[in-house]
Amino acid sequence: MFIAPITSKAPGPGRSALEIPQTEARRAGLEIDLRLWVILNELNADILEASYTLEERTPRGSFSPAFTDAILREVQRLRAAGGLKLSNRS
């Protein structure tokens, strides 16, 4: 499983991110009154079955297939260009 950080802090120089449209934030169960970004150049890798979390794992919602595809395309582009940092959390 790959986990991309979501933040309300505008990405600075050297960061690759996609702003989450309000419609997508609503679909995902995120705050809709804040500007939010998915950070794409730093992902966390984890094994779901072995992962430990203090938070509830019940999904709040999800992004649309079109927005998910946009995220994946950008991550693939960053990986091909050598601009992707992957942290192993397992």
Half-sphere exposure of 29 (CA within 13 A, CB side): 5
Q: Which helix (H) or strand (E) holds 43?
A: strand 42-45
Q: What is the mean pLDDT of the chain?
A: 88
Pairing of strands 36-39, 6-7: antiparallel
Q: Does residue 63 register a pLDDT over 70?
A: yes
pLDDT over 70, % of the chain: 87
* 8 A C-beta contact, residue 83 and residue 39: no
% helix, strand, coil for the chain, step of 5: 30, 20, 50
Q: Does residue 77 register a pLDDT over 90?
A: yes
pLDDT over 90, % of the chain: 60
Question: Pick the residue with more confidence: 73 or 2?
Answer: 73
The stretch 35-56 carries a mean pLDDT of 80
